[in-house]
């Protein structure tokens, strides 16, 4: 059998993730310090893990409702109302998904027809463009720049809009840049979208991780935008629950219903244990006034400042990110491409970073460094990067 004849062209034509290559090299280097990690360096807090263990002991091993556990949906709705002032009915406007990633896929498949365009601010998370392609659509990059602190400008959005535009993915706080968008900036985007039928897929997975006085605004909370917005979020980043794979998609019922339909026929439901754990995570957060989250944010904030200061000090110009747990310094002064910089740094100094180009062509000239790693390791990694840069 000639496999290339049977594989869907749309799938075959999507290049493999640029990150994979680095992962394979790093695996053979036990001494390497990885700043390529995309998840918290905390293990899920014990009470959350315990809830899952208890549910197993209790024999909770069945499917849940396709929508997700009712008590979890109620907590998610309460959380979004309390935290971001967006109201969704837990009955039919909150869908528990297998990570926010499933939400991205569901939203795109529910919306995109062949020939439809989906605008994606760039640089951004590696999955958006491939998911648009898999859904049969065409990804359209709206480039964001350091000068605009990697926020999507109304001009860039307007320039990317065409009659074929079906949706806009709004990934803020942003991976990999750490860029955030203020309420006023979001309002400016809203004015561009008013009068169009463009749906906004707002991926707010890093919403809890914001710094320096920035307050996260949910796009659905912008006046008039709720009706066109699919809000995606999850438990991975705020509660250190990446491996549990629990997220959620929220939207007005009629907009969410097609996502639900696909979910119902494909995934059925997120795992019972993941949902029980997520339920405990939110329950605990309500009880403690989000104390754990606040402590975690303070801890990231300190590492963020450490990274920005050290990178600037060694001549790698680094925009001050206000969200997520990444810094995205410019390496242009070194004269190397992002890919060469990362490859050489890894081979010579055993520090793994991710080339900016993994997040779109406009990421050239930058590298992504995650600071979700102990201060001790960060300091060691920074010392190695400094030695590497000085040698160039």
Partner 1 sequence: MFTTLDMHILEILCEDARVSPREIAVMTGSDEATVVTAIDGLRRAGVLVGYQALINWERTEREFVQAVIEVNVVPQREKGFDAIAQRIMQYDEVRSLYLMSGAYDLMVLCEARTLKELAQFVHSRLSVIEGVTGTSTHFMLKTYKYGGMIFEGGADDRRQAVMP
Distance between CA atoms of residues 4 and 6, nearest Å: 6
Task: Write the binding mask 303 to 322 for partner 1: x where contact by CB under 8 A, - elsewhere.
Answer: x-xx--xx------------
Q: Which of 7, 11, 13, 17 binds partner 1 (CB under 8 A)?
A: 17
- Site stretch for partner 1 (CB under 8 A), options 246-254, 281-289, 292-300, 333-341: 292-300
DSSP, res 151: P
Q: Of 32 and 118, which has the nearer Cβ to partner 1?
A: 32
Contacts for 346 with CB less than 8 Å, ≥ 6 apart? 22, 25, 26, 29, 32, 352, 353
Q: Using an 8 Å Cβ cutoff, are 150 and 333 in contact?
A: no
Using the rule CB under 8 A, is 262 a contact of partner 1?
A: no
The 10 Å Cβ neighbour count of residue 112 is: 22
Using the rule CB under 8 A, is 371 a contact of partner 1?
A: no
Using the rule CB under 8 A, is 363 a contact of partner 1?
A: no
Q: What is the number of alpha carbons within 13 Å of residue 329 lying toward its C-beta?
A: 27
Q: Of 113 and 375, which has the nearer Cβ to partner 1?
A: 375
In three-state secondary structure terms, 131 is helix
Using the rule CB under 8 A, is 358 a contact of partner 1?
A: yes
Q: Which of 14, 19, 272, 293 binds partner 1 (CB under 8 A)?
A: 19
DSSP, res 122: E
- State the minimum distance, in angstroms, from the CB of residue 358 to partner 1: 7
* Edge-to-edge strands, sheet with 165-170: 94-97, 247-250, 229-234, 199-203, 165-170, 117-122, 138-143
- State the minimum distance, in angstroms, from the CB of residue 327 to partner 1: 14
- State the minimum distance, in angstroms, from the CB of residue 371 to partner 1: 11
- State the minimum distance, in angstroms, from the CB of residue 298 to partner 1: 6
In order of 45, 87, 109, 282, the CA distances from 261 in angstroms are 33, 22, 11, 26
Within residues 35-54, the interface with partner 1 by CB under 8 A covers 36-39, 41, 43
The angle formed by the CA atoms of residues 176, 377 and 326, to the nearest 5 degrees, is: 10
Within residues 149-188, the interface with partner 1 by CB under 8 A covers 175
What are the residues binding partner 1 (CB under 8 A)?
17, 19, 22-23, 26-27, 32, 34, 36-39, 41, 43, 125-127, 175, 212, 295, 298-299, 302-303, 305-306, 309-310, 352, 354, 358, 375-376
């Amino acid at each position: 059998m000639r496999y290339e004849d049977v594989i869907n062209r749309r799938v075959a034509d999507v290049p493999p993730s640029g990150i994979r290559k680095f992962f394979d090299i790093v695996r053979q280097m036990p001494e390497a310090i990885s700043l390529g990690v995309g998840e918290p360096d905390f293990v899920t807090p014990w009470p959350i893990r315990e809830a899952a263990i208890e549910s197993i002991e209790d024999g909770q091993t069945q499917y849940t409702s396709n929508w997700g556990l009712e008590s979890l949906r109620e907590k998610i709705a309460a959380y979004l109302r309390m935290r971001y002032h967006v109201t969704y009915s837990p009955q039919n406007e909150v869908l528990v998904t297998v990570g926010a990633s499933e939400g991205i896929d569901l939203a795109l498949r529910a919306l995109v027809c062949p020939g439809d365009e989906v605008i994606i601010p760039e640089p951004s998370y590696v999955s958006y463009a491939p998911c648009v392609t898999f859904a049969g659509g065409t990804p359209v990059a709206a480039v964001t720049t350091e000068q605009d602190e990697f926020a999507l400008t109304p001009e860039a959005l307007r320039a990317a809009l065409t009659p074929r535009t079906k949706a806009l993915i709004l990934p803020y706080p942003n991976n990999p840049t750490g860029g955030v968008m203020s309420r006023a900036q979001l309002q400016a985007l809203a004015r561009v979208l008013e009068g169009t039928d463009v749906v906004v897929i707002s991926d707010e997975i890093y919403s809890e991780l914001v710094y320096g006085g920035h307050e996260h605004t949910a796009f659905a909370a912008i006046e008039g935008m709720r009706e066109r917005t699919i809000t995606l979020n999850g438990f991975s980043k705020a509660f250190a629950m990446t491996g549990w794979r629990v997220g959620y998609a929220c939207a007005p019922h009629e907009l969410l219903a097609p996502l639900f339909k696909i979910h119902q026929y494909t995934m059925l439901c997120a795992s019972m244990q993941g949902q029980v754990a997520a339920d405990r995570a939110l329950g605990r957060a309500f009880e403690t006034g989000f104390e754990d989250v606040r402590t975690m944010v303070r801890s990231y904030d300190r590492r963020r400042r450490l990274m920005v200061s050290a990178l600037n000090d060694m001549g790698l110009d680094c925009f001050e990110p206000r969200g997520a747990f990444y810094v995205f310094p410019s390496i242009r002064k070194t004269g190397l491409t992002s890919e060469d910089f990362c490859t050489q740094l890894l081979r010579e100094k055993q520090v793994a970073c991710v080339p900016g180009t993994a997040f779109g062509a406009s990421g050239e000239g930058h590298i992504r460094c995650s600071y979700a790693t102990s201060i001790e390791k960060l300091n060691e990694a920074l010392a190695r990067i400094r030695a590497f840069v000085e040698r160039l």
